[in-house]
Amino acid sequence: MSTRAYACQSATSPVAPFSLDRRALRPKDVQMDILFCGVCHSDLHQGRNEWHNTIYPCVPGHEIVGRVTQVGPKVTKHKVGDLAAVGCMVDSCRSCPNCAEGLEQYCSNMATFTYNGQDRHGGGLTFGGYSDSIVVDEDFVLRVPAGLDPAGAAPLLCAGITTYSPLRHWKVGPGQKVGVVGLGGLGHMGVKFAHAFGAHVVLFTTSPGKVADGKRLGADEVVISKNADEMKAHAGSFDFILDCVSADHDINAYLSLLKRDGTLTLVGAPENPMPVAAFALLMGRRSFAGSGIGGIAETQEMLDFCAKHQITCDIEMIRMDQVNEAWARLLKQDVKYRFVIDMASLKKG
């Protein structure tokens, strides 16, 4: 099936119109017309080959909401007309211990990612949501609950699950003091979820201009991380800190804020290694951890939780032909807090 898309042809070329062929439906496949696709910082990293593994042409996009237009004969979970979603993965080995536990994101044989991945069955490269349609195995297609705004829901497929999963895993809840570092695409969702889970939420930001927004989103307190006195006032007091920053920063400044047995979990992806002072961990039996997206079952749980609590991402809608401008603005952190592409603009172009 011929599909209109936007792709990077090299690490330095702009994202530009491209045509690709989606596979014919297999028995368990779901075909979707894409309505909205979020713009993730990972799209920029991958498109610019900053992780040194990009295969070109690269069609980014892994925050996809669309309408089901066709299903294979063995599909049981989705039907034509359903509002559905696809996140960061479109397949996994399904047989390793991690997959068996519903942790496909940690597949021992590597999950097949929505773009820049290798199709396990048909071969060839996977192409993502900067396109007008997609075909995905039903086991990796999610249900968008009724009442959830589809445009605001699109970034939940990455930004949402990336922050929801560690908060759930480390059992964040009432009576806990939780920090969120950074108020960007990830951080603003971390604040919303931690607040919805009932924790006392403290936002850390370098920008005094984000104080009011942080409180609007659910933070009980906002700390300007450049202010040494404000940081010192919170020393040794946090049960859990979610670090959502992808730029270089001093991780030890936040490790020192943890209680004994507290955990700091990194979900941002800084390009450079982060020096960690041994005594920042040793003196308090503190833990420094990481977390990557979430499994399919947990992602569905997250979408259902968002529908129940009316949580979506704060978005700025753009046309498909504005994506290069959006990437440039991402580098300047000039978005509150996630770009979403209205894919109708691609069909009209």
Q: What is the pLDDT of residue 1?
A: 76
Q: What is the pLDDT of residue 246?
A: 86
What's the pTM? Answer: 0.95
Q: What is the pLDDT of residue 349?
A: 59
* DSSP characters over 144-159: --TTS-HHHHGGGGTH
Q: What is the pLDDT of residue 123?
A: 83
Q: What is the pLDDT of residue 86?
A: 98
Nearest of 349, 307, 284 to residue 146 by alpha carbon? 307
Domain ranges, ordered by start, for the chain: 2-158+314-348, 160-290
CA separation for the pair 342, 319 (Å, rounded):
6
CA separation for the pair 47, 58 (Å, rounded):
7
Q: What is the pLDDT of residue 175?
A: 96
CA separation for the pair 271, 342 (Å, rounded):
30
DSSP 310: T
- Homologous superfamily of 160-290 in CATH? NAD(P)-binding Rossmann-like Domain (3.40.50.720)
CA distances from 133 to 1, 8, 296 (A): 9, 18, 21
Task: Give the residue ranges of the chain where pLDDT is below 50.
Answer: none
CA separation for the pair 158, 279 (Å, rounded):
33
DSSP 291: -
Q: Whose structure tokens read 């009011």?
A: 212
Q: Whose structure tokens read 């580098």?
A: 331
CA distances from 173 to 34, 167, 196, 199 (A): 35, 9, 9, 5
Handedness of CA 313, 317, 322, 326 (dihedral sign): negative
Q: CATH for 2-158+314-348? A: 3.90.180.10
CB neighbour list of residue 140: distance below 8 Å, 6 or more residues apart: 86, 89, 90, 91, 104, 296
Q: What are phi and psi of 87, to 5 degrees?
A: -105, -135
* DSSP characters over 87-104: -SEEE--S-SHHHHTT-G
